[in-house]
Amino acid sequence: MIIDAWGGRAIFTIDENRNIKRWNYEHTIYVTGDRLERITDEIDLVPWIKWKLEERRDIFSYKKVVTITLPPNRLSEVITAIERIGNFRDCKIYNADVNIVQSFMVKNNLHFFNDEDEMNFDIPKVNVLEIKFIDSLEEIEINGQMFTNIPSSIDYFFSNMKDANMIVSEGGDRYFPRFFELARKEGYTPRTSRSKERTFTSYGRVSHRSSGFIIYGIPHIDRETSFIFSEGGLEGLITISKITSLPIFHSARITPGTAVSSYEVKKSLEKGIMIPLYKDDHEMIKNIDTFISADKGGLYLQPVPGVYENVFEIDFSSMYPSIIVNYNLSPETINVKCENFRRIDDLGYDICMDRRGMLPEFLSDLLDLRLYYKNKKKSDERYRGRDAVLKWLLLTSFGYTGYKNAKFGRIEVHESITSLGRKILTDSIKIAEEEGFTAIHGIVDSLWLQGSGDIHKVMRRIEEMSKLKISLEGFYKWIAFLPARDGTGALNRYFGLMENGKFKVRGIELRRTDFPNVCKEMQEEILNIYSRVPNLAGFHKHYDEVEKIYNSYKFRITNGKVDDSELRMSIVATRRPEAYKVNGIRKMAIEKARNVGPGDKVSMFVLNEKRGEVDIENLENRYDKNYYLRKLEMAWESISYPYRHQPIIYQKSIEDYDTN
């Protein structure tokens, strides 16, 4: 059973018994273009290169190529030479930036954790060494045992590492470099390295991924830096490793978007489809009308602020990837010569239906796997983590169709998906209206419907019309849609009591990290009272009780009756401290934290907002009462909205919304 793999020309794999095996591996790349004869003449002189001429296919068609086999550690120099021979424009190179271990695993039909079945695999019995850095190196927990003496913790750690298959840390990427440095002074000789750190922006949010700490011979996963592990646990992480054929350390540190891209690369390798080093399929020329129609994105219905009773929420299951699969959207199926096609009316694009596209073929397997896990998790908790990570992969698969560097992306695919999504949602609203419902809110793939008709009949009709699966997210006894700053309805700020007694909360202070915990605690207490409110008429009975809670928190802040845990709040650095023009609390907190870059989170206390005084640990045991009272008032404005909302002006039909 292969637990981990690493290397270059020589690939090393390690099994559950910590036996290491060395494999010799040569990587294969492909070259097309006008100067193939010149390229073969040149590489014929190099003894460590093998080559042959043959026909291979990329996502669009078969091509005449030079197939080159070479040691992986010589890849960069060969690529540079080929680009120079081709004047950096006459040759196209494929499979040159595929992960070496991934390519090795696929080429040799090997699978991590030794089970080909991606659906029913069991998590193997692996020995996990857990280490938690509670207070830097001053206090460390290893397998549940506490250490305050560094030499003792080092001895205990390395003693247990001999029998471990995996290390799961909390803070390892930050503290292992110093920990292992001290270990070497104690006579231990582990081989380690670090991966690259990076800062990136995704959907307007700046994120930072610190460099990962690599321990050769045993995979290391840091809970603090692994999104995949935090969402899906070990079950989810092994699922990603299996479906991408990437080592578990690598899988732990990639984003869902990169995981989707890696999954598509693996499928391409399995099917023998060449993967371009650089994309050169440019956006099609469009007239201004098509450009405007294509640039609309998803459909949003802005709700009228207010509190509504008896509301159903219905969601399309994995709407965008399902559109890709069901409508055969792929770079090689849009506007190509074809006998049978489906037209996207508002864009004028023709989708070829004579052959199945590569993207639909790849994502169909992923959708089937997600549906299988989603059903299995109802009776088996082990599948919950697997379902969670696949949900994220499918969510990001749409975004990658429009990403400029995506190997199998193309902007026209992206535009077609959103166009079809808008039409499906609009037609769904019309069906709901015909069955006696009013759409009070809608976001891309979700609708909130109010009415007394048969919701299941509505869902059946929508599924027949769209060919997509739809689910009933829930029934709200009541739901409050809050206003934005300008008084119009906010798209994603609401809270509502569902029939099962649970709340669904989005966008209010309870869900925000940049508000102190004291505000969240107040909102949680008030929601607990709201859980006893069955309908709109029931709110007035509890106003005095709700206001009393608010006043009690005001009293505590004013009179210094709150502790540090209630005052703590977090911000995310969007740039380096010196790049902030205003000397406000955000800049001061980042400077205090030290070594903080874009995307990093900083926890802080506000001591004096006007003077920009903040503290990371609140060692001075004081705080800015006016600042925290203002934050509390903002939280109160949101949670007490049901007592202030104006009578609702209902949208009567889809035509009442501005969808342009």
CA-derived radius of gyration, the chain: 28
Residues 566/589, Cβ–Cβ less than 8 Å: no
- pLDDT class of 494 with cuts at 50, 70, 90: very high
Half-sphere exposure for 376 (CA within 13 Å, toward CB)? 17
Q: Per residue in 536-594, pLDDT tens?
A: 999 999 999 999 999 999 999 999 999 989 999 888 888 777 777 777 888 888 877 77
Average pLDDT across the chain, whole number: 89
Neighbours of 162 (CB within 10 A): 10
Arithmetic mean of pLDDT, 594-615: 83
Q: In what order do the strands lie in the sheet with 437-443?
A: 300-301, 437-443, 446-451, 306-316, 470-483, 489-498, 503-506
Check whether 294 has a pLDDT greater than 90.
Answer: no
Measure the CA–CA gap between 89 and 293, rounded to whole angstroms.
34
What pLDDT shows up at residue 405? 66
**What stretch of H or E contains 547?**
helix 543-558
What pLDDT shows up at residue 619? 67
| Max intra-chain CA distance, the chain | 89
Domain ranges of the chain: 2-107, 128-268, 290-386+408-506, 517-643
What pLDDT shows up at residue 10? 87
Buried b (16+ CB within 10 A) or exposed e, 357-373: bbbbebbbebbebbebb
Residues 385/298, Cβ–Cβ less than 8 Å: no
Q: Please write down the HEC assignment for all residues of 160-227.
A: HHCCCCEEEEECHHHHHHHHHHHHHHCCCCCCEEECCCEEEEECCEEEEECCCEEECCCCEEECCCCH
Structure tokens at 521: 């605690």
Q: Look at 41-50, 238-247, 393-402 and tell me which has the smallest mean pLDDT.
A: 393-402
Rounded to the nearest 5 degrees, what angle is found at the Cα of 412, between the Cα atoms of 407 and 413?
Answer: 60
What pLDDT shows up at residue 652? 54
Arithmetic mean of pLDDT, 286-305: 81
Q: Looking at domain 517-643, which CATH architecture does it have?
A: Orthogonal Bundle (1.10)
Q: Is 468 helix (H, G, I), strand (E, B) or coil?
A: coil
Neighbours of 605 (CB within 10 A): 24
Domain 2-107 indexed as CATH 3.30.342.10: yes
Measure the CA–CA gap between 102 and 71, rounded to whole angstroms.
15
Rounded to the nearest 5 degrees, what angle is found at the Cα of 509, between the Cα atoms of 502 and 580?
Answer: 150
Structure tokens at 71: 């040691």
Structure tokens at 257: 């978007």
Q: Look at 312-316, 343-347, 464-468 and tell me which has the smallest mean pLDDT.
A: 343-347
- pLDDT class of 655 with cuts at 50, 70, 90: low
**What stretch of H or E contains 351?**
strand 349-352
Check whether 235 has a pLDDT greater than 70.
Answer: yes
Rounded to the nearest 5 degrees, what angle is found at the Cα of 302, between the Cα atoms of 297 and 308?
Answer: 140
Arithmetic mean of pLDDT, 523-532: 97
Residues 541/595, Cβ–Cβ less than 8 Å: no
Measure the CA–CA gap between 296 and 389, rounded to whole angstroms.
29
Expressed in angstroms, the distance from the first to the final Cα of the chain is 56
Per-residue CA distances from 291 to 286, 351, 370, 460 (Å): 6, 18, 34, 34
What pLDDT shows up at residue 649? 47
Q: Kindly state which CATH superfamily the domain 290-386+408-506 is placed in.
A: B family DNA polymerase, palm domain (3.90.1600.10)
Ordered DSSP codes for 402-427: S-TT-TT--HHHHHHHHHHHHHHHHH
Q: For residues 355, 358, 360 and 366, what is the CA-based torsion angle, rounded to 10 degrees?
A: 140
Q: Per residue in 417-444, pLDDT tens?
A: 999 999 999 999 999 999 999 999 999 9
Measure the CA–CA gap between 47 and 54, rounded to whole angstroms.
21
Per-residue CA distances from 329 to 115, 216, 415 (Å): 31, 42, 10
Rounded to the nearest 5 degrees, what angle is found at the Cα of 372, between the Cα atoms of 498 and 119?
Answer: 140
Measure the CA–CA gap between 156 and 376, rounded to whole angstroms.
39
Structure tokens at 354: 């004579």
Helix, strand and coil in the chain, % to nearest 5: 40, 25, 35
Arithmetic mean of pLDDT, 316-320: 92
Q: Look at 99-108, 116-125, 600-609 and tell me which has the smallest mean pLDDT.
A: 116-125
What pLDDT shows up at residue 104? 95
Check whether 199 has a pLDDT greater than 90.
Answer: no
- pLDDT class of 274 with cuts at 50, 70, 90: very high
What pLDDT shows up at residue 149? 92
Neighbours of 206 (CB within 10 A): 16
**What stretch of H or E contains 42?**
helix 36-43
Arithmetic mean of pLDDT, 288-312: 86
Q: What global pTM score does this model have?
A: 0.86
Arithmetic mean of pLDDT, 352-369: 93
